[in-house]
Structure 1
Amino acid sequence: MLLLLTAVVAITAGGGRAATAAGCEGGGFTVLGLSGDQTTSVPAAGLPATFLVKGRYVEFTVVSNSFGILDYTFTGAPNALDMTGGKRTVAFASKTPDHRGLVLTGAVSVELAGESLVLSRTGPGLSMKLQANDCAKGGLFQMEPSRADGTATQVTHILGDGVFFFDNPNFRAREGDVVAFKDTTITVTPRINFANDISSKFVGRDSPQVATRVLQGCVNTVPAPRHPGGTATVDHCGGVSVWNIAPGGRLGAVFGDDATEVAPPSKPCTHQCQAQDQVRGQAVVLGFPFPVPDASRLKPRFPG
C-alpha cells in the first residue's frame, strides 16, 4: 500500500473562495515557479534538492526528498496583526522528519488558493503532507507523515536563534480554573509556549494531533503557585522538541492568540483546514508575560 507524505499549506474551505482571513491580506505563496490559484504537479526530474516557499508574511525552505522544513520565517511585512514588530524572525530553524531510510521520489503535487498552499509527495512506502498559510500571525502549519508499515515517524523541531520554549506563567497562575469555551467550559492546564526577547507579541506553540512528545531529560523546576511548594517539574528542553507522530497524526505550530487560548486540542484535519478550528473569540486568551521570566524559561537549550 502506497501512502502519501504530503506537505500542506492551509487551504480555505468551501466550494467558493472564502474571504481573506484577518492578518492574511495580500498573502499568497510562490513555490517552484508557481503562484496564483491552481492545482498542478511538478515532475520529480525538475526538482532541486531544496526549494523555497515564499510568501508576503511567511517563507520557508522544503527539503525535496524528505519534506523537512528549514528556516520557517516571519518576514515582518507590514500588517495590523504583525507579531514581530516588523523584524524578520526565524521561528523554526528546522522541522526534520526521520524517515529511517525511506525517501520521497515522486512528483510534487501543488495546490495554491489565496493565502494557502498544499504540497504533497510520495515515495516507496512513504508519503508526506505539509499545510501552511501566508499570514502575519502564522495561521496554520502542519506536517503529516505516513508510512506503509504503519509505524510512527519521529519529527524534531529546532527553534530559531533567540527563540526559546517556556512554561507559561499565565497558565500556571490559572491552573485548575474552569473557564468558558464556546457554549461549554474547559479547565486550564499548563502550557508550553515559545517566544523571544525582541517582539512582545511573538508567541507560538507546537500543535500535535495524534502525536506524543519524546522526553529528553531536560528537567526543570518552574514556578507553579497552585502546586504544593509552589513549583512543578517539567521535562522539556529550551530549544528543541521531539515528537512521535502516529499513523493518521500530524504535527504543526500555531501562533499569536491561538497559541495562548484555553482550548482543547485541534481535531484531526487533512485538507482545507482552518487554524485552531476557528475558535477565535470563543475561547479565553491568557497571553504571556513579556519579557518571559527567567525562572519559567526551559533549560538547557539542547539535551546533554
Structure 2
Amino acid sequence: MRLFVGVTDDQWFHLLAERPSWAEVNFWRPSGLGFQALSEGELFLFKLHAPHHFIVGGGFFARALRLPLSLAWESFGEANGVRTLPEMRRRIAKYRRQPEEDLGNPDLTCLMLAEPFFLKREEWIHVPASFKPNVVVGKGYDTATEEGRWLFDAVAERLQAKPLQEVEERPATLAAVSTPRFGAPKIVRPRLGQGAFRALVTEAYERRCALTGEKTLPVLEAAHVQPYAEGGPHDVSNGLLLRSDLHRLYDQGYITVDPDDRRLLVSGRIREEFHNGRHYYALEGQALAEPHRGFMPVTRERLLYHAERVYRA
C-alpha cells in the first residue's frame, strides 16, 4: 500500500477537526494540477506546517478531480475546510497571489478523501526522518519499505482505539485496523459521501445532462438511480447527471430509463395529473448517454430497480 503525507493548511485542519464526524473531506489545492501519487483506498495523511512536524489525521483516497470552485463548494460545502464560499475565494486568492476580483471561477485540484479521521493532540505522529522541513507539498511512502510500514502501523494503532461501531461503518478503516501486524495491508474502496457522489457523477458525464446534453452547470444535479434511502449507494454506477427538472421528475417516478434499451420513458401521469408535459413527452425515447471512459456506467440492476419500484407507469 502507498501512503502520501500532504502538508495541510492549519486553518483547514483545525476547522474540520472541530467536528470529527465528517463522512468525507476535500483536500483542495489552489492550482488545477493533477495528482497521481495514490490509488483508490490508499492512505492520505495530513501534516501541519512547520514548526509542527506531526501527522495529525488523514483519510482514504477516493479520486482526484479538477473542479471549478463553484462545483467544489456546491459538492462539499464546509467539508472544504472553510465556513463560507467567500472565505474560500479569499484563501484561493491569497495562495495564488492574485486579486480576488480577478479569480472568476477557477479550477482547483480536489483530492476527495473518504472516511477521514482527526487525531487528538496526544495521538499525533512525528513525521518519518526522511520528511525534510523543506518539503512543501508532501511526500509518498510505501508499506514495502521500513518507514512506510512504520507509518502505516502507527496510523492503524490509533484507528484501532476508535469505537468499534464507528469503525464497522467504514469499510476502508475496518480493513486498516484488521491488518495483522506483519501482514500486507488490504486496500478496500472507501465509502463515498454525497459530495464525492455529486462531483464524480458530474465529471463522469462530462458536465452534461445524460438525457438532454444540457451543459449549464448550475442546473445539473446528480440523481441516485436506486434511492439512497432505499439502499442505493453514493456510487457512479448508481448515478445520473440530470437537468434539475428532470431530476425531480425522476426522483418522483414520472420518468425512468428502460433498463434494456436504456432510453427514456415518460409516464402518462404527467398529463393526467398536471394537464401538461409536452416538453417532456418530446423527450420520450431519448437515449441515455454513457459516462466518460474510466467511469462505470449505471448497472442494469439499478435501472431495473427504478423502473419497477419508483416509476409510475
TM-score (norm 2): 0.24
Instruction: Give the strand-richer structure, 1 or 2.
Output: 1
* Higher RCO (CA-CA < 8 Å; seq separation 6+): 1
Question: Who wins on radius of gyration, i.e. which is larger?
Answer: 2
